[in-house]
Structure 1
Amino acid sequence: MDATAKVLRCLRDRTILITGSTGFLAKLLVEKILRVQPDVKRLYLLVRAPDDAAAEQRVLHEVVGKEVFDVLREKHGADFHSFIKEKTTALAGDIIHQNLGLGNAQAKQLFEEIDIIISGAATTTFNERYDVALAINTFGTVHICQFAKQCAHLKLLLHISTGVAGNGEDRLILEKPLQMGQALKKGRCLDIGAELELTNKVKETLITERSGIVSSQQLEKVAMKELGFKRAKYFGWPNVYTFTKAMGEMLLGTMTGDFALVIVRPSIITSTFQDPFPGWIEGIRTIDVLIAATYEQKLPCFITGRIIDSIPGDMVVNATIVAMATHYDDVRTQAIYNVTSALQNPLPCNVLDESTHAYCLINPHVTDHKSFDDTNMRKLWGSMGAGRGDDGYIFNFDPSSINWRLYLFNTHIPAVLKS
């Protein structure tokens, strides 16, 4: 059996719970699974909604109703909606709650059905409120892992993190677990429980001091954002997003169960390279804000590092699926993959200059001049056997197959400007 067939076999008859289902990456993931393996048993899609009916409407409009599903829609024709109804179930829930906010009866049913959990829910806002980012990115992982431990037949929990969460002060970000309490700044020890207590204490103080003031909610919002930035900087992270994602990884690493744990850390995610078609993106994302602003002559320059490490969204999804299949039966195994262009140096500043007619300034807070070790990811790609007669490119995540200049000029920038 070749590697691609093994991946497809792993997906066959599986029941998968996906959190963060309305996100950009999750939409690509749901579409890919349904397109390449229509014999998947069921995808449970957790979304924030008041009830399951509202959750179903969100999935229909914000997920399967999007352009990225056009290839699958054309493939099934008039049967598309019945296929979607047969293979997907929307769940109203939220990872900030115990049992993901599900009712007892519903949770018990899932405990008996779920084979795989893909943890994709996150707030990706760099300047998010500290309390909100902690609840979702940090303690949300605890609730997901607690839920996973109650699933009788669960074989794998896959957590989507971020490559820039960092691990230590090394210039090379390794594919290794983050150690509990390890800050990026030497001499500082991180206590996650104390961070939650600090946040609650600051909020309580604000409520006491600002009671009766009309704008108290806005003041609390500003204070929480400032606190998140200060705490992230104090421990060595550039923003509250990467800081709280790192803490989420730390907690996850201490909560192993009788299932494999896989952590995928993508770098900056860009538009699709080829699957289901080139150039699909949703909204303006990260560096795309700068590209769009300079194109519209609203920004004469933008600040960046010497190299911006990025990876197309479909390659992240393909790596995720292959990693999932590879470790499906590896009980108690923990594997980490930096899904990155690594040494390919995809977006050097001079290319961005040519494409946007802007000039760049060095800012260590974008890449911090770090690079990513991708040894595990390259081994994973090698296991697909692509180039040796296998059909591994169905799940292509090889950054060396990208002509970055052509991709940028002909695919990504037009996609950004179109969105």
Structure 2
Amino acid sequence: MDKFLHFFENKSILVIGATGFLAKVVIEKIMRVQPEVKKLYLLLRAVDSSSALHRFNTEVMENELFKVVREKYGAKLDSIIKEKVSVVCGDITRDCLGLETSILEEVFGQVDIIINSAATTNFDERYDIALGINTVGAANVLSFAKKCSKLRTLLHVSTAYVCGEKEGLIPETPLKMGEALNMTPGLNIDMEKKIVDDNLRSLHSAPENHIKSMMRELGLQRARKYGWPNTYTFTKAMGEMMLEQFKENIPLIIIRPTIVTSTFKQPFPGWTEGVRTIDAFIIGFGTGKLTCYPGNPKITLDLIPVDMVVNAMMVSIATHVHKTTPMIYHVGSSASNPISYLRIRDINTRFFIENPWMSRDGKPVIVTRGTQLPTKLAIQIYINLNYLIPIKILCVVNAASFGYFDRTYIDRSRKVKFLMRMFDLFSPYMFFSIVFDDMNMEKLKSSVNEMCGDIENEIFNFDLKSINWDDYLMHTHIPGLVKYSFKR
């Protein structure tokens, strides 16, 4: 019996953040494997309904990710979309998700499942934006869900790294309102909102670039005050706190993915979009901007292909119907199929030696093994010796030569800024040893094995043990990055 495929038949699903990386894969999956879904309500930000539909067509349906769907349905695709898809203009930072009155009652009365994948994932996002989307947005989605009369499940996509820089085994347990990771007292979400508002008022007449810079710095300051390494994980953690505090009887699932990578198999291997964490180092190394590897080479990095995240999401939805006890799932590999930072580094080096990136002048970028910087002190010494001191010397020489080396100075300054930002934002994840407990995921996987046949097991595969990391990174993920994420 196709238990999980059958579950989504004749269901109305609201996907929030429909143009995001993860949401695209969710939408593609549902359209490809369950065309008998009743309705897909896709909420995305736009100035009006016409603009929302344009974004959906250009950013979603025209994306290469949907080529299998386009091939499967051919000329029928337009009529399927017209019947099954309703693109709605909204904003999760507003009450009722900013939906127009004309669509509100329909959604309240029809939606069975809500998937909230809306987020800003920039580590140093403006604090006002991150707080609005990742924290206030989560609370607004919860309030909206309480008004949906047919709701069966609310799934909220968080991140495993709400744990901050804790080490050891991280359990699949909820975050409690106001509990700082470093035990600093006084964490209050209402107060965080007030701090944002007060700062914006004080900056109202400043240039936009200055406001942006100050709000970014404010986010990092507030995050580190309470023990989180960056604005992203801090605001996502507070979003979870809001859900835990005010969930009442809502059937809630919180999915905590680790480092999400390109598709493993579905709809085809290697599709990706944007740059996530470890990808920044892969791209930086392959294009010659990065000649070192900061971090302890012995630590485990936790990777998870995006199609496996989506498979786990869909199975968890189907098994959690009407359950009032919230469920938290770590979706990652560190417990079941770990891979070391050293191994990733060596595979990355091998790939770009065998497949060098071509620079703008048409010459191959020559890569070497790269310098390993196993401690934060080693990073600081490396930056000083190789970048900061030489750039200061170049600045003096350039001034003395009346700007003769302007172009070289600007180019090297940009490279230094790139490296400094990389080290500052990502180094917290390169030194601590962590394993994400995935017992809930293991139980979920067992339920799939027991209830489904081989075909459905393959359709909803999220067995991390089935991945050969060397083969996946060398022949799927890094080639996918080169194809979809590298900028020529």
- Distance in 1 between residues matched to 2:127 and 2:115, nearest whole Å: 24
* Aligned residues of 1:46 and 1:93 also touching (Cα < 8 A): yes
- Counterpart of 1:236? 227
Q: 2:239 aligns with which of 248, 255, 262?
A: 248
Q: How does 1:117-136 map to 2 (within 5 A)?
A: 117-136=114-133
- Distance in 1 between residues matched to 2:165 and 2:294, nearest whole Å: 24
Residues 84-118 of structure 1 deviation map (CA, whole Å, 9 limit, x = unaligned): 22211110111011011112231112111111100
Partner SS for 1:384: helix
- Aligned-residue sequence identity (percent) comes to 46
* Aligned residues of 1:179 and 1:250 also touching (Cα < 8 A): yes
Cα distance, 1:119 vs. partner? 0.5
More divergent stretch after superposition (321-330 vs 299-308): 299-308
- Distance in 2 between residues matched to 1:227 and 1:275, nearest whole Å: 40
Unaligned runs of 5+ in 2: 350-368, 377-426
- Counterpart of 2:303? 310
Tell me if 1:261 matches 2:252. yes
- Distance in 1 between residues matched to 2:343 and 2:129, nearest whole Å: 37
Alpha-carbon RMSD: 1.8
Partner SS for 2:13: strand
Tell me if 1:366 matches 2:429. yes
- Distance in 2 between residues matched to 1:388 and 1:314, nearest whole Å: 19
Cα distance, 1:258 vs. partner? 3.9
- Distance in 2 between residues matched to 1:230 and 1:125, nearest whole Å: 15
* Aligned residues of 1:167 and 1:174 also touching (Cα < 8 A): no
Number of equivalenced pairs: 409
- Counterpart of 1:83? 80
- Counterpart of 1:67? 64
Q: How does 1:101-250 map to 2 (within 5 A)?
A: 101-166=98-163, 169=166, 171-207=168-204, 211=205, 216-250=207-241
Q: 1:335 aligns with which of 327, 330, 339?
A: 327
- Distance in 2 between residues matched to 1:353 and 1:284, nearest whole Å: 20
- Distance in 2 between residues matched to 1:89 and 1:310, nearest whole Å: 33
- Distance in 2 between residues matched to 1:346 and 1:277, nearest whole Å: 23
- Counterpart of 2:9? 12
* Aligned residues of 2:347 and 2:474 also touching (Cα < 8 A): no
Partner SS for 2:228: coil
Tell me if 1:324 matches 2:321. no
- Counterpart of 2:441? 377
* Aligned residues of 2:184 and 2:226 also touching (Cα < 8 A): no
- Distance in 1 between residues matched to 2:46 and 2:199, nearest whole Å: 29
TM superposition score normalised by structure 1: 0.93
Q: 2:342 aligns with which of 325, 349, 359?
A: 349
Q: 1:408 aligns with which of 458, 462, 473?
A: 473
* Aligned residues of 1:349 and 1:360 also touching (Cα < 8 A): no
**Residue type of the alignment partner of 1:335:** M
Partner SS for 1:254: helix
More divergent stretch after superposition (235-244 vs 74-83): 74-83
**Residue type of the alignment partner of 1:201:** D
- Distance in 2 between residues matched to 1:286 and 1:167, nearest whole Å: 15
- Distance in 2 between residues matched to 1:379 and 1:354, nearest whole Å: 32
- Distance in 2 between residues matched to 1:388 and 1:95, nearest whole Å: 36
Distance 1:218 1:10, change over 3 A: same
- Counterpart of 1:34? 31
Cα distance, 1:353 vs. partner? 2.9
- Distance in 2 between residues matched to 1:351 and 1:285, nearest whole Å: 15
**Residue type of the alignment partner of 1:317:** V
Residues 46-91 of structure 1 deviation map (CA, whole Å, 9 limit, x = unaligned): 0111111211111111011111111111111111222122211110
- Distance in 1 between residues matched to 2:303 and 2:347, nearest whole Å: 18
Cα distance, 1:393 vs. partner? 1.9
- Distance in 1 between residues matched to 2:58 and 2:203, nearest whole Å: 39
Cα distance, 1:256 vs. partner? 1.7
- Distance in 1 between residues matched to 2:106 and 2:451, nearest whole Å: 43
- Distance in 2 between residues matched to 1:226 and 1:181, nearest whole Å: 22
**Residue type of the alignment partner of 1:372:** F
Unaligned runs of 5+ in 1: none
- Distance in 2 between residues matched to 1:27 and 1:341, nearest whole Å: 22
Q: How does 1:277-296 map to 2 (within 5 A)?
A: 277-296=268-287
**Residue type of the alignment partner of 1:365:** P
- Distance in 1 between residues matched to 2:94 and 2:314, nearest whole Å: 27
**Residue type of the alignment partner of 2:465:** S
**Residue type of the alignment partner of 1:219:** H
Cα distance, 1:31 vs. partner? 0.5
* Aligned residues of 2:347 and 2:473 also touching (Cα < 8 A): no
- Distance in 2 between residues matched to 1:266 and 1:195, nearest whole Å: 26
Cα distance, 1:346 vs. partner? 2.7
TM superposition score normalised by structure 2: 0.81
- Distance in 2 between residues matched to 1:111 and 1:387, nearest whole Å: 32
